Amino acid sequence: MRILFAQDSRDRREALGALLHPCKQLLTQPIFARGKLKGNLKISQLTQEDLQKKYVQTVINAGNQVNEALADCEAAREKHAYYHRQVQVLYDAYTGTHELMDNGKANYLEVLTAQESLLNSQLSEAANMYKGAQAVIALYIALGGGTK
């Protein structure tokens, strides 16, 4: 009977060991994997910080693009009034010189010089208008419009 009892208790221990073996692994796994879990946590935290810094830099870059585009629009608008007034004055000078030539008080070379100045001023005004249009397009793109 003693032999059966010893055999029976050994079977019970083996059965209990087989039952607790998966539990033992589940309980000891975090202890032995603690370094790995801490490492993964640290990597995740560093990745999150890196992504936050990239996001902030992207927002700053976008703000700078919008600011530059607005400054270009404003500069073109301010220059437009100057160029427009210059064209008006040179047009008046051209017509006045043409009238003087008609009355014999100016020669044709003076008329051509006045006309050349007027045309150069008109070209400058047109170039400024083109820069203004480019600035508006750049602003539109900086604000998220358009496609790439």
Residue 52 has, within 13 A of its CA and on its CB side, a CA count of 6
The residue among 38 and 52 whose pLDDT is bigger is 52
pLDDT in tens, 11-39: 666 766 666 666 666 666 666 666 787 88
The Cα 112–Cα 88 span in angstroms is: 17
What is the percent of the chain where pLDDT is above 70? 76
Alpha-carbon span 83 to 129, nearest angstrom: 10
Rg for the chain (alpha carbons), in Å? 42
- What pTM was estimated for this model as a whole? 0.62
Q: What is the mean pLDDT of the chain?
A: 85
Average pLDDT estimate for 115-119:
96
Look at residue 106 and give its three-state secondary structure. coil
Q: What would the pLDDT profile of 73-86 be if each residue is shown by its tens digit?
A: 999 999 999 999 99
Q: Which two tokens stand for residue 79?
A: 């220059």
